[in-house]
Amino acid sequence: MGGLAQPRFPISLTVEAITMAKPIAAVTISTGVARRVMSPAAWDLLSRLAEVRVNPHDRSLTEDELAGLLSDADVCLSGWGGGRLTAAVLDRAPKLRMVGYAAGSVKPVVTDAMWERGIRITSAAPAIALDVAETTLALIIASVKRIWQCNQITHHGGWTAQTPMGPSREMNGSTIGIVGAGHVGRRVMELLNMFSAKVLLFDPYFTDAQAAQYQATKVELPELMSQSDVVSLHAPITDETHHMINASMLRLMKDGATLINTARGWLVDEAALAAEVQTGRIFACIDVTDPEPPAPDSPLRKLDNVVLTPHIAGCVTNCTRLGELAVEEIRRFLSGEPLLFEVTREMLSICA
């Protein structure tokens, strides 16, 4: 795509001889999740690194079962449904020192007890970000070109690029607003560099100079909402981001603008969004809701100017990059090498 390099993580999937006694690695994810995230190469490397013990069930483990599986583990490969590392669990896992998390946000797993024991954890969020960013780019382009509106017009006998939301446009000259410069937001900005679009960024933890590295202009949220043709949300779940996109922010959007949410439903006041969308003034592409799934009678399910998808922006069937990255992190930990994507206690307040 225009010469843009696909990010590659330095995953060797090889292992040098380990001189110490073979450590024990516990895989706490269910058999179903393991099929999604673990490639044969990942299993092979993990089995050469350590004696592997797995969750034998196609379900999450109970707290007692999780503690039993981790009782003599040195490292753990966790992920979706892998179980929370509570004090009760960790009291029975005295050897555990590191968790390779084969999913995005580690918040469902970590506890104060984990940090207090000095247990380290890594995240595969950078791998998930690649899929989410590609999906987001597709939604941005489709929104600018008015793909869904033109489809409705042609299905009803029409043939025009002029839609009730405005004419079909080009990426060249469009203004795209990015809310949040985490792994996904940064990757989306990299992808947008292929186009002659103006990119605005709101992220209180990013500097002007950092934004400029992504050919973006850092602005405050109200300016971004009022100036963007497409607003794409990539902020994490924190106290500060809850319903950050509220009625007043939605009212700032241009007529015919599109709101895209491939991050978390937490960010958006959905009642306010439904009310604003029902005016016919803006369009929305919503991949995440709060709660998930939305209620059967949610207005978002019924409105023609809402594209609603069931949380598919990230990987759905081929998620093996996640397991491979988690196993690579385990290899690095056992070999005494720097971890690639460690999450620290201090990072939790600002990361997804």
DSSP 8-state secondary structure symbol assigned to residue 267: G
Tell me, rounded to whole angstroms, the distance of Cα 174 from its chain centroid: 25
Name the one residue in this structure whose structure tokens are 């490639």.
39
Check: CB of residue 244 under 8 Å from CB of residue 226. no
Q: Does an H or E element contain 324, and which?
A: helix 320-335
Beta bridge partners of 101: 78, 123
Sign of the CA dihedral with 74 first, then 78, 83, and 84 last: positive
**Cα–Cα distance for residue pair 183/218, rounded to 1 Å:** 17
Q: By three-state DSSP, how is residue 78 classified? A: strand
**Cα–Cα distance for residue pair 113/84, rounded to 1 Å:** 11
Percent helix, strand, coil in the chain (nearest 5)?
35, 15, 50
Which residues are marked as active site?
A: 264, 292, 311
Amino acid identity of 238? T
Sign of the CA dihedral with 322 first, then 325, 331, and 333 last: negative
**Cα–Cα distance for residue pair 207/217, rounded to 1 Å:** 10
Sign of the CA dihedral with 64 first, then 70, 76, and 77 last: negative
Structure tokens that stand for 235 in this block: 């902020």
